[in-house]
Amino acid sequence: MNNVSKLDLRIPSRIMIEMHHGDTDAIDVIVEMEDGMIYTAMFATLEYLTRQMTLTFDLCSDMQDTTPTRFAAMEMPHVIVESLDRDTVEDTIDNLIAMETFLTIFTQVTEDHNDTTTETTTTNGNGRRATQEVAAVVLSDVLVVES
């Protein structure tokens, strides 16, 4: 019997990009699947990592009892890409889906309509939680660069 994973049945219908104010090295990406499920992830360049390391170094330099060190501690998954152009973002998403790693990187922000539980929170497989309310805020506040 051929096992088809749940992800194999999902195809992106819309990809939205939110630019960070003043930043040109990181974006939030929102993916709406054909089945209405919505996922989000942060895409960043190597320049973003370098900037984060410099910010941490500067912070440690100003704090007593810390040794100035360049490091970046990411609190959430990031997809590191060479550039933030739309083609690179879309190709990366397609590759993550084909490699069956999409759900390990992207956070689900809508309820799974096939889920029989009554909770309003869902997880994306890594235990991270998102709510329907977060999805509404993300979609209403996002700056859509291209549809």
Count Cβ atoms below 10 Å from residue 62 Cβ, excluding itself: 9
Quote the pLDDT of residue 23: 83
Residue 6 has pLDDT above 70, yes or no: no
For every residue of the chain, DSSP letters joined together read: -----GGGG--EEEEEEEEPTT-SSEEEEEEEETTS-EEEEEEE-HHHHHHHHHHHHHHHHHSTT---------SS-EEE-S---HHHHHHHHHHHHHTT-HHHHSEE-S--TT-----SEEE-SSS-EEEHHHHHHHHHH---S--
**What is the pTM assigned to this prediction?**
0.72
Quote the pLDDT of residue 52: 95
Quote the pLDDT of residue 138: 55
Q: Is pLDDT larger for residue 22 or for residue 118? A: 22
Q: Is pLDDT larger for residue 83 or for residue 124? A: 83
Q: Which residues lie across from 46 on neighbouring strands? A: none
Q: Which residues lie across from 12 on neighbouring strands? A: 33
pLDDT in tens, 7-46: 445 799 999 999 888 889 999 999 999 999 999 999 999 9
Residues 6+ apart with CB under 8 A from 8: none
Q: Is the separation of the CB atoms in 38 and 16 below 8 Å?
A: no
